[in-house]
């Protein structure tokens, strides 16, 4: 228990829930790390696809970034409307399922879940990948490092919402602050130099153009850049994590995140063009990230460069945290509707939905281990989920406003409608441009997950129909069960078991399996040991049935006997009373047979509604 | 079940025990493989130690073999007396513990058990080692081959005594037959050539002598040669495996085994001298076993050579079988006296003591895996066990005859006394000469095993003292238990649980843990659902206790509540009735909490004699 307390803090009571809420200052690190971290790889991803265009490609980064920024703004406005409309958490799942039907909701949920799992695995592995390329000595430890980061993020998140916000505050604001300084300084230098500043450390020279810009290439670059938008959904899903006024706090948080992201994306795009910075081939030996070139060009490779790049690396690694904040909430919403196991809806000891965290960690760890900590091949698999969810959520909001009606609703419907169309288009672009590279896997996974959740739901529904009742207790025909007591020989254990049996019911059958291995006087002693005392006390004398077992099996014949008794007493309950020896030390259990446990398991497996099992433990050496 | 039948045959009934007995023809392969196989490595082991003496060393093999043969004869005579004295199995354990006390018996048992485990591991690995040196292509598969042989021997032995005898008949007699032909032919050629026959294929030339023969070296060579004597004990322990007249059949089997072994040992020694065959360094590239050189010298490297060497290899690999025959019988004898878990005394489906086989296989497999299938380093560890057991058994027989008294007894006492003295001397020689090389490990293992068995016995004895009784059933003060029923909400499951509870006892307490996570109308509905119907039926109305759990734990508060109830009703039994949902498919269990199972486990762990647990299963989708 002490190690639990040390790692995760003391348990939090329900009434402490209020104190676990956060405001915008804590909300930005919790829900924004994923989106903000995208600034580090979104432009890079787009520029990488532009490498074949040579120096000419760099010019495309500004319009590309601009379209992504517009998209971001639209999505932001849409979500700003979703938050007050669904103040208890309006993620894509909730919005889509309430407005478009459970099918759309499940589709959004499955898409997002897969995306979040991938975010964790790919995010951590990207961060560690950057660290390892800076410090090649660590190359042998990629997987352990990935798993260590995963463990740290997990522990922090299991400590609860407030602790998470506090821990991630520093790296987030360090990242935003230092990048803002680099961008501000760069833009000031650009303006001062009339658009063509001298880099302090020269960026890599671009390769000569290998091809001309085509629409397909630009679309692919755009859809790669769009990975910058994953994680935007998180705030609207986590409204309940904010302190009052929670709608307003959530909205402020969302606006702050998006605003910072837009500034960073725009600044990076502008500086890339003015300093003529392009991506370098990640497979080549001279690889240097765009942000590294940019920072070096603006401030030189001095201490501030290292602070900036260090913070970038930290945020890259920790952006997995957004998934930790949102995945469990999403699972909870789905579980409350009966599409996932109920356990996802339970709050853990620190008031977070621990089961969702466990599943997320397990899946991410599995992916990391399977891919040895290098997950480049998985990058084409994500972003689709996020865009699919965006689209469904916007479309859901359109339906929502349509139902509500009125002047304000019409205006909101327009915004969400625009969002739906734009994100739907983007989804198609992303899906088509990445389909062959792996997006098809995502499609299959989403379909499988939807199917799974539907099956879970059907299972719960059938079970509920079976067990739901509002009837009061039917009290007629109460009749004690027929108690069957199996035992080997006459000991204090069996003596006590017989006493218990007689105290529960007048009808008791003792059964002994004779496997012919040892002499046993049970049958001949029975009248003296049990029948006479019972008769003298005026009770019905318990019978002893001896079952012959020429093949020395004990459990099998016993089970047959019990099922026979059940057939015999068709309208009675059968209680199987199993005397069992409990040892205080686990290793002593090797000294005894585990027949009671085995019989219990088999009875549960083969029995039916009329058999109950009574375990009468005897504690060895307890007196 | 079908695969079980295919691998191990149909189950055998108790009355088929007679048909599972064997005569001498089957007994020799079952109990003799270990001893006979020793002919292949005993002389080799002695000659290897004589290498430093050069060609002069070869002359010592005849006196060394002679002393081993004399020892064998003495031990044989002693056991011939033990068999009729202990017709239900007179292994060293039985003889020593009945005549010298349980300490001596346990010492013998521990020594033999360790020896048998080592025999299996070392035997199989030696056989596969020889195979691999003949077919170097298999070198990468040493461990899988070892484990495969272990699996095959295990399956054959689990099929029962008769099948084992049948399977091992052929390799045993092939081995004995072909070696006998080689020896016969060799001796005839030697006589015909006046003592100096021409080898058909010349044996390896001997190295020049590096040192002179010393008493220490000869003692070491003798004790290495003595490894030929392990496995001689097996017959006397397995008398019950023979058909009637079983004493006689066992004696014949023993004599046949020892006689063959003596002929083989003597023949090999004589031919080694006449053909001037010495051992080659096992570490060198030119290594060739003594038997291979000998066979090639007598019959040339033609087809018969390959038949002979093939049978040697087969017998080396399969000599583990003797341990399979004897180890389980030994464990059974020890278990019947309460020094090992009772399970060792149970006959399995094919009437063999399966648990002993399982343990033997598990330990041997563990050793093989740990040492990667190459167990050379373990060779110094064994033989000590066998000689210690011989000595204790002979000494026990001396005490036995002394107690019996009479003329015949005095004569027998002499034979066993001689055996005891000689084997004791040999034990000391073996122990001293091999101590530093690893025999000390055996000493520690024996001590640990004896300690373990003593502890097991103490445990059983204490438990027996606790539970043994001959009193009849005390019938006064029978009183139904207080039944506690925990549940979440009102369903058909809880409804039925309440009915069961009321049918068992008038005193029922329902308990609900309120973790504040969901609205629950149980408390307000209770009077309508349960109390009123109960009162109308004239029963005491079951109370509903609601336990608040601000930290959302369910099991913990429930457990506390139950232990409180137990404190409250100091003179009553407490029955905890746990309604549990049983799913027909294991994977559906993820959809439900496993609180009933968890609570059962914790109650068994923390409860005491007054708490019993009633499991009322509800089978999902069963109607």
Instruction: Check residues A69 and B518 and name the one with the higher pLDDT.
Output: A69
Residue A18: pLDDT band (50, 70, 90) is confident
Range A139-149 burial, b when 16+ CB lie within 10 A, else e: eeebbebbbeb
**pLDDT, average across residues A67-91:** 86
Is A593 in CB contact (< 8 Å) with chain B? yes
B559 min Cα distance to partner chain A (Å): 16
The pLDDT, as a whole number, for residue A377 is: 78
pLDDT of B284 > 80? The answer is: no
Q: What pTM did the predictor assign?
A: 0.79
Pull the structure tokens for residue A305.
């460069």
CB contact under 8 A, B552 and A349: yes
**CATH code given to domain B2-461:** 1.20.1740.10
Residue B334: strand, helix, or coil: helix
The pLDDT, as a whole number, for residue A58 is: 86
The pLDDT, as a whole number, for residue A358 is: 92
Q: Which residues of A touch B463 (CB under 8 A)?
A: 581, 620-621
Residue B7: pLDDT band (50, 70, 90) is confident
Q: What percent of chain B has pLDDT over 90?
A: 29
**pLDDT, average across residues B612-618:** 89
Residue A379: pLDDT band (50, 70, 90) is confident
Q: List B511's β-bridge partners, or say none.
A: B486, B545
Q: How far apart are CA A234 and CA B11, in angstroms?
A: 63
pLDDT tens figures, A404-426: 888 888 888 888 888 888 889 88
Residue closest to A11 by CA, chosen among A352, A331, A345: A352
pLDDT of B73 > 80? The answer is: yes
Restricting to A residues 599-618, those with a Cβ less than 8 Å away from any Cβ of B are 600, 604-605, 607-609, 611-618
The pLDDT, as a whole number, for residue B364 is: 92
Q: How far apart are CA A45 and CA A220, in angstroms?
A: 10
pLDDT of B371 > 70? The answer is: yes
Whether A96 and A359 have beta carbons less than 8 Å apart is answered as no
Question: Angle at Cα B12 formed by Cα B6 and Cα B16, nearest 5°?
Answer: 140
B344 min Cα distance to partner chain A (Å): 10
Q: How far apart are CA A125 and CA A143, in angstroms?
A: 8
Is B519 in CB contact (< 8 Å) with chain A? no
Q: How far is CA A139 from the centre of its chain?
A: 29
Whether A375 and A122 have beta carbons less than 8 Å apart is answered as yes
Q: How many CB atoms lie within 10 A of CB B356?
A: 28
Residue B517: pLDDT band (50, 70, 90) is low
Whether B496 and B530 have beta carbons less than 8 Å apart is answered as no
Whether B219 and B430 have beta carbons less than 8 Å apart is answered as no
pLDDT of A90 > 80? The answer is: no
Range B52-67 burial, b when 16+ CB lie within 10 A, else e: ebbeebbebbeebbee
Q: Find the DSSP H helices in B193-302.
A: 215-225, 234-237, 246-275, 290-299
Q: Which of B475, B516, B611 sits opposite A14 (nearest CB)?
A: B516
Task: Average the pLDDT over each of A559-568, B344-353, B359-368, B505-514 and give the range with the smallest value.
Answer: B344-353
Instruction: Check residues B438 and B147 and name the one with the higher pLDDT.
Output: B147
CB contact under 8 A, B588 and A459: yes
Instruction: Check residues B609 and B458 and name the one with the higher pLDDT.
Output: B458
Q: Count of alpha carbons within 13 Å of B285, Cβ hemisphere only?
A: 0
Helix (H) or strand (E) run with residue B486 in it: strand B482-486
Name every residue whose Cβ is closer than 8 Å to that of residue A68 and which is 6 or more positions away in sequence. A42, A222, A225, A226, A228, A229, A265
In this structure, which topology does domain A482-619 adopt according to CATH? Rossmann fold (3.40.50)
Name every residue whose Cβ is closer than 8 Å to that of residue A198 and which is 6 or more positions away in sequence. none
Q: How far apart are CA B596 and CA B451, in angstroms?
A: 39
Whether A614 and A577 have beta carbons less than 8 Å apart is answered as yes
Is A543 in CB contact (< 8 Å) with chain B? no
Integer-rounded Cα radius of gyration of chain B: 33
**pLDDT, average across residues B56-79:** 88
Instruction: Check residues B432 and B592 and name the one with the higher pLDDT.
Output: B432
In this structure, which topology does domain A2-463 adopt according to CATH? Amino acid/polyamine transporter I (1.20.1740)
* Nearest chain B residue (CA) to A349: B551
Whether B51 and B278 have beta carbons less than 8 Å apart is answered as yes
Q: How far apart are CA A330 and CA A92, in angstroms?
A: 9
Residue to substitute from B504, B569, B571, B618, interface A, most A β-carbons within 10 A: B504
Pull the structure tokens for residue A441.
């896997």
pLDDT of B444 > 90? The answer is: yes
Q: How many CB atoms lie within 10 A of CB B32?
A: 29
Restricting to A residues 318-377, those with a Cβ less than 8 Å away from any Cβ of B are 341-343, 345-349
Whether A90 and A237 have beta carbons less than 8 Å apart is answered as yes
Report the mean per-residue pLDDT for chain A. Answer: 86
Residue B100: pLDDT band (50, 70, 90) is very high
Q: Which of A14, A346, A622 sits opposite B550 (nearest CB)?
A: A14
Residue A585: pLDDT band (50, 70, 90) is confident
Highest mean pLDDT among A282-286, A481-485, B126-130, B375-379: A481-485
B429 min Cα distance to partner chain A (Å): 38
Q: How far apart are CA A172 and CA A32, in angstroms?
A: 9
pLDDT tens figures, A189-207: 999 988 888 888 888 887 7
Pull the structure tokens for residue A340.
């996932």
Instruction: Check residues A4 and A401 and name the one with the higher pLDDT.
Output: A401
Q: List B484's β-bridge partners, or say none.
A: B509, B576
**pLDDT, average across residues B28-57:** 85
Per DSSP bridges, beta strands B482-486 and A611-619 are: unpaired
Q: How far apart are CA A284 and CA B513, in angstroms?
A: 62
Give, in order, the Cα–Cα distances in Å from A595 to each of B266, B459, B575, B581. 54, 19, 21, 22
Restricting to B residues 495-514, those with a Cβ less than 8 Å away from any Cβ of A are 495-496, 498-500, 502-505
pLDDT of B489 > 80? The answer is: yes
The pLDDT, as a whole number, for residue A517 is: 67
Q: What is the DSSP letter of B14?
A: G
Residue closest to A446 by CA, chosen among A168, A109, A26, A128: A109
**Residue with the two structure tokens 């009945």:** B98
* Nearest chain A residue (CA) to B605: A584
Q: How far apart are CA B305 and CA B558, in angstroms?
A: 77
What is the count of residue pairs from A and B with beta carbons less than 8 Å apart? 227
Report the mean per-residue pLDDT for chain B. Answer: 86
**Residue with the two structure tokens 């490609």:** A57
Residue B447: pLDDT band (50, 70, 90) is very high
Q: How far apart are CA A10 and CA A350, in angstroms?
A: 8
* Nearest chain A residue (CA) to B618: A609
Residue B283: pLDDT band (50, 70, 90) is confident
**pLDDT, average across residues A272-279:** 90
Rounded (to 5) percent helix, strand, coil in chain B? 70, 5, 25
pLDDT tens figures, B299-339: 988 899 999 988 988 888 888 888 888 899 899 999 999 99
Q: How far apart are CA B148 and CA B160, in angstroms?
A: 19
Task: Average the pLDDT over each of B100-104, B230-234, B483-487 and give the range with the smallest value.
Answer: B230-234
Residue B338: strand, helix, or coil: coil
Residue A363: pLDDT band (50, 70, 90) is very high
Residue B547: strand, helix, or coil: strand
pLDDT of A449 > 80? The answer is: yes
Range A482-496 burial, b when 16+ CB lie within 10 A, else e: bbbbbbbebbebbbb
Q: Count of alpha carbons within 13 Å of B596, Cβ hemisphere only?
A: 24
Q: What is the DSSP letter of B350?
A: T
pLDDT tens figures, B380-416: 787 788 889 889 998 999 999 999 888 888 888 888 8
Residue A623: pLDDT band (50, 70, 90) is low
* Nearest chain B residue (CA) to A551: B13
CB contact under 8 A, B466 and A620: yes
pLDDT of B211 > 80? The answer is: no
Q: How far apart are CA B372 and CA B69, in angstroms?
A: 35
CB contact under 8 A, A504 and B480: yes
Residue closest to B389 by CA, chosen among B328, B442, B438: B442
A16 min Cα distance to partner chain B (Å): 9
**Residue A84 φ then ψ, to 5°:** -70, -30
ipTM value of the model? 0.81
Total number of residues shown for chain B: 623
Q: How far apart are CA B447 and CA B269, in angstroms?
A: 37
pLDDT of B450 > 90? The answer is: yes
Q: How far apart are CA B106 and CA A352, in angstroms?
A: 58
Whether B619 and B579 have beta carbons less than 8 Å apart is answered as no
Q: What percent of chain B has pLDDT over 70?
A: 98
Is A205 in CB contact (< 8 Å) with chain B? no
Query: Counting beta carbons within 10 angstroms of the beta carbon of residue B521, is it exposed (0 to 12), middle (13 to 18) or buried (19 or more)?
Result: exposed
Q: Which residues of A touch B573 (CB under 8 A)?
A: 500, 503
**pLDDT, average across residues A319-334:** 88
Whether B89 and B240 have beta carbons less than 8 Å apart is answered as yes
* Nearest chain B residue (CA) to A468: B491
Q: Which residues of B touch A499 (CB under 8 A)?
A: 473-475, 478
Residue closest to B78 by CA, chosen among B232, B228, B223, B222: B232
**pLDDT, average across residues B69-90:** 86
**pLDDT, average across residues B575-581:** 89
* Nearest chain A residue (CA) to B516: A14
pLDDT of A447 > 90? The answer is: yes
Q: How far apart are CA A311 and CA A304, in angstroms?
A: 11
Residue closest to A575 by CA, chosen among A508, A526, A513: A508
pLDDT of B590 > 60? The answer is: yes
Pull the structure tokens for residue A106.
């499940």
pLDDT tens figures, B150-178: 999 898 888 887 788 888 888 899 999 99
Q: How many CB atoms lie within 10 A of CB A570?
A: 7
Name every residue whose Cβ is closer than 8 Å to that of residue A223 and which is 6 or more positions away in sequence. A383, A426, A429, A430, A433, A434
Q: Where are the domains of chain A?
A: 2-463, 482-619
Helix (H) or strand (E) run with residue A577 in it: strand A574-582
Q: Which residues of A touch B15 (CB under 8 A)?
A: 550
Q: What percent of chain A has pLDDT over 70?
A: 99
**Residue B167 φ then ψ, to 5°:** -65, -40
Query: Counting beta carbons within 10 angstroms of the beta carbon of residue A407, is it exposed (0 to 12), middle (13 to 18) or buried (19 or more)?
Result: exposed
Pull the structure tokens for residue B243.
């058909």
Q: How far apart are CA B432 and CA B220, in angstroms?
A: 9
Whether B393 and B234 have beta carbons less than 8 Å apart is answered as no
**pLDDT, average across residues A126-136:** 79
Highest mean pLDDT among A33-42, A449-458, B82-91, B209-218: A449-458
Q: How far apart are CA A208 and CA B595, in angstroms?
A: 67
């Amino acid at each position: 228990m002490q190690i639990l307390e040390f790692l995760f803090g003391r348990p939090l009571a329900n009434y402490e829930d209020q104190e676990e809420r956060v405001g915008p200052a804590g909300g930005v690190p919790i829900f924004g790390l994923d989106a903000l971290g995208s600034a580090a790889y979104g432009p890079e991803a787009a520029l990488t696809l532009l490498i074949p265009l040579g120096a000419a490609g760099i010019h495309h980064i500004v319009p590309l970034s601009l379209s992504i920024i517009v998209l971001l703004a639209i999505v932001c406005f849409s979500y700003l409307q979703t938050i007050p409309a669904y103040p208890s958490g309006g993620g894509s799942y909730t919005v889509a399922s309430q407005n478009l039907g459970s099918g759309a909701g499940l589709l959004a949920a499955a898409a997002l879940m897969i995306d979040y799992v991938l975010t964790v695995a790919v995010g951590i592995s990207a961060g560690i990948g950057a660290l390892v390329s800076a410090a090649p000595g660590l190359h042998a430890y990629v997987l352990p490092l990935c798993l260590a980061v995963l463990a740290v993020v997990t522990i922090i998140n299991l400590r609860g919402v407030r602790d998470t916000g506090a821990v991630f505050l520093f790296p987030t604001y360090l990242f935003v602050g230092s990048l803002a300084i680099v961008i501000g300084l760069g833009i000031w230098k650009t303006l001062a130099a009339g658009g063509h500043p001298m880099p302090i450390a020269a960026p890599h020279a671009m390769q000569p153009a290998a091809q001309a810009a085509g629409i397909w290439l630009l679309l692919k670059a755009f859809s790669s850049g769009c990975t910058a938008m994953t994680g935007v959904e998180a705030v609207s899903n986590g409204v309940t994590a904010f302190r009052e006024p929670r709608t307003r706090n959530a909205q402020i948080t969302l606006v702050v995140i998006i605003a910072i992201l837009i500034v960073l994306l725009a600044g990076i795009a502008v500086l890339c063009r003015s300093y003529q910075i392009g991506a370098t081939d990640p497979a080549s030996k001279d690889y240097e990230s765009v942000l590294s070139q940019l920072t070096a060009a603006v401030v030189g490779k001095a201490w501030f460069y290292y602070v900036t790049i260090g913070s970038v690396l930290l945020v890259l690694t920790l952006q997995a945290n957004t998934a930790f904040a949102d995945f469990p909430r999403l699972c909870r919403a789905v579980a409350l509707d009966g599409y996932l196991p109920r356990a996802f809806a339970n709050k853990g000891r620190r008031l977070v939905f621990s089961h969702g965290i466990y599943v997320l960690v397990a899946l991410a760890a599995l992916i990391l281990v399977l891919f040895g900590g290098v997950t480049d091949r998985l990058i084409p698999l994500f972003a689709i989920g996020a865009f699919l969810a965006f689209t469904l959520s916007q479309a859901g909001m359109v339906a929502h406003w349509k139902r509500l009606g009125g002047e304000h609703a019409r205006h909101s419907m327009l915004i969400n409608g625009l969002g739906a169309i734009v994100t739907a288009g983007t989804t198609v672009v992303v899906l088509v441009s990445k389909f062959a590279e792996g997006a098809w896997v995502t499609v299959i996974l989403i379909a499988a997950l939807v199917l799974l959740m539907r099956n879970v739901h059907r299972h719960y529904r059938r079970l509920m129909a079976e067990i739901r009742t509002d009837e009061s207790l039917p009290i007629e025909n109460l009749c004690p069960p027929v108690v069957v007591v199996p035992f080997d020989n006459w000991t204090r254990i069996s003596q006590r078991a017989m006493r218990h049996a007689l105290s529960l019911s007048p009808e008791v059958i003792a059964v002994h399996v004779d496997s012919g291995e040892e002499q046993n006087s049970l049958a001949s002693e029975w009248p003296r040991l049990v029948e006479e005392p019972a008769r003298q006390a005026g009770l019905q004398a318990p019978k002893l049935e001896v079952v012959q077992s020429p093949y020395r099996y004990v459990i099998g014949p016993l089970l047959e006997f019990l099922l026979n008794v059940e057939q015999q007493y068709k309208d009675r309950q059968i209680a199987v009373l199993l005397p069992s020896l409990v040892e205080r030390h686990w290793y002593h259990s090797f000294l005894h047979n585990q027949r009671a446990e085995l019989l219990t398991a088999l009875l549960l497996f083969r029995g039916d509604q009329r058999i109950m099992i009574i375990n009468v433990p005897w504690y060895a050496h307890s007196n």
